[in-house]
Chain A
Amino acid sequence: MNDTAILTEKLTKKYNGFTAVNDLNLKVHRGEIFGLLGPNGAGKTTTILMLLGLTEPTSGKVNVLGHDPTRQPLRVKSKAGYIPEQVGFYEDLTARQNLAYIAKLNGIKGDQIQERIDDALETVNLSAVANKFVRTFSRGMRQRLSVADVLIKKPELIFMDEPTQGLDPESARDFLKLIRQLGDAGITILLSSHLLDQVQRVCDRVGLFHQGKMVLEGSVSELASKIFGGAFHIHLNANGSNQNYRELLKNLPGVIDVNFVSPDTYSLVATHDLRSEAARAIVNAGGSLYSLGLDSFNLDDIYNAYFKEVNDDQRNVS
């Protein structure tokens, strides 16, 4: 009946005068994978805790899955799972025993408990170690177990705080695949991260957090056009007698900005695709051109561009 999973209006949280979350308006649709992006301390975790009813908002309204987490936390928590940043398990219990405790806390009874545990462990591919003590588990296994942990309650919504933090690249890749799989199964997922390329790979939409405010929101391509205004980014690798091509490139018609990325590598921002003009300019100047290409935007660029803008603004103000 309602396709909104999470809705907040002017959500604010203050800790002794410090504003952790500031007037947050957030809307996440059901079935969506939404990424909260931002540097550490931007208020991502606090937001998640408020959405779960684990912390009371200072002001503003929240609605999660049709309930108010502050007043009806049990309703929310029976339908929404939470994977904290550093998830802990009872080390002296087996994976199965850990999950059984969670199942009982959710009021699941009797035969159903083992059934759900089996299903959950199957989904995260941990069936083989169900009866092993958690203390023997690797970081990646723990992370997958934490997913099994929230699957026990058959959630409609899962909150993940920095889910790939501390995982090696392969485990991280597997884990992202798992997130995508859960999303495809119709579960709404809200994840927070500062690892942009990973967020980009799984999230339908992202929100950029900065100092407790959500400053940008949309799909990655939407964000790119918002930040760069539809500009073209070209990267170029060249060298030659003339060491610095920066001035040369800057004088080409249509170039907005040239950045020196690393020795012999430059990145251009331009109003149109001027790859051929740039190539000609380099060759005419007697240089050797090694590579030239058009960048597709990733979140990294958006992020950097945004924070560069913000910092410049702040510098101008002060």
Chain B
Amino acid sequence: MIKETFHKKRQGSPWKGLWAVIGKEMSDHLTSARMQILEILIVLTAVGTGYTALQQISSSNDQFLFLQLFTTAREPLPSFAGFMGFLVPLVAIALAFDSVNGEFNRRTISRVLSQPIYRDALLFGKFLGTFFTLALVLAAIWLLIFGIGLIGLGVPPSGQETARILIFLALTIVYGGFWLSLGLLFSTIFQQSATAALASIGVWLFFIAFWEILVSLIAQGLRPIQFGVVEEIIARAKFEMMLSRLSPNTLFVEATLGILNPTIRTLGLILPFELEGAIMGSPLSVEHSFLMIWPYLTGLIATTILIFALSYISFQRKEIRA
């Protein structure tokens, strides 16, 4: 009696409703109290680090003044770039930790999924909506620093500098995307928002505080220095570097260095003979700096996609019982 359907696969586009979800997420975030707190935090950081950097810079006569706005630190405060390294993960986690389990806890999930959309659209829309929000906020902060620089330094940035600053912005957004996908993953795995937040913060703390210690421990154990020969020391250093680059935080910090300091020629180990013929202190072009950080960028994007895929699988398997 029932017509056998010939289509074995599900029908209809998985993207249907995507923009509705993105719009909803963005408007939710941008009007939420949580976002306002985060904005105040970031603006304070930007103004604070920008101001202290300005005071330091006025006594130097480097050719990349504008970039120093982002990299100059005055004890005990880190530079703006340094601040972003641990603030952006916090912001991203704060935006994402309750995005999926929040729908379950509010019991809105079955109402939303009984609309003609696939789960794909909901999850992807949540990710993109939060991602765009993050990008928007970061772009605003960048403009703020730009403004501070223009007023404080009195000179506009060169084309080179502008390009580097924009690449740094893109890098920061990608870095934020990584933590966003992690927050999203935990928010699909854990039913309680608080647990998800704690798990995400745990991972963040692990990479910020403990990873370096762990790396040297592992390196000591696996690559012990027995004879003290140069090869041994180099091998140990390379191994340590490889391990430490498993941390998204290291990736971000190194790539930031590479793009904001035109004089940095490599992010790996350099031996004296490798520098033969190089003109010390001469800056790299934007293209070369970008090429140098390209693997870092793709590495971050790849892990982000991987983590998103995990949350996708976990979300598709969830039973929707109201």
Contacts and interface: CB of A to CB of B under 8 A. Distances in A.
A89 interface: yes
B10 A71 contact: yes
Contacts of A101: 20, 24
A71 B108 contact: no
A85 B107 CA distance: 10
Interface residues of A, number: 40
Interface stretch (A102-110, A122-130, A182-190, A214-222): A102-110
A45 B322 CA distance: 9
Given A86-B322, A89-B108, A72 B116 contact: no
Contacts of A105: 17, 20-21, 112, 115-117
B166 interface: no
Given A7-B2, A63-B2, A72-B5, A82 B10 contact: no
Dominant secondary structure of chain B at its interface with chain A? loop
Interface stretch (A49-57, A243-251, A277-285): A49-57
B107 A87 contact: yes
Interface in B82-130: 106-118
A9 B1 contact: yes
Contact of A104 (B8, B20, B28): B20
Nearest to B33: A92
Contacts of B20: 101, 104-105
Interface in A128-186: 146, 149, 153, 161
A216 to B, nearest CB: 22
Nearest to B115: A105
Interface stretch (A73-81, A231-239, A306-314): A73-81
B101 to A, nearest CB: 13
Contacts of B10: 70-73
Nearest to A4: B1
B21 to A, nearest CB: 8
Interface in B211-250: none
Given A45-B321, A73-B12, A82-B114, A88 B108 contact: yes
A118 interface: no
Interface string A1-30: 000000101000000000000000000000
8 contacts: A7-B1, A63-B2, A63-B3, A68-B5, A71-B11, A81-B114, A91-B106, A161-B322
Given A71-B7, A73-B12, A84-B114, 12 more contacts: A54-B113, A55-B319, A74-B12, A84-B111, A88-B108, A92-B32, A104-B24, A105-B20, A105-B112, A105-B115, A107-B17, A149-B111
Interface of B: 1-3, 5, 7-12, 16-17, 20-21, 23-24, 28, 32, 106-118, 319-322
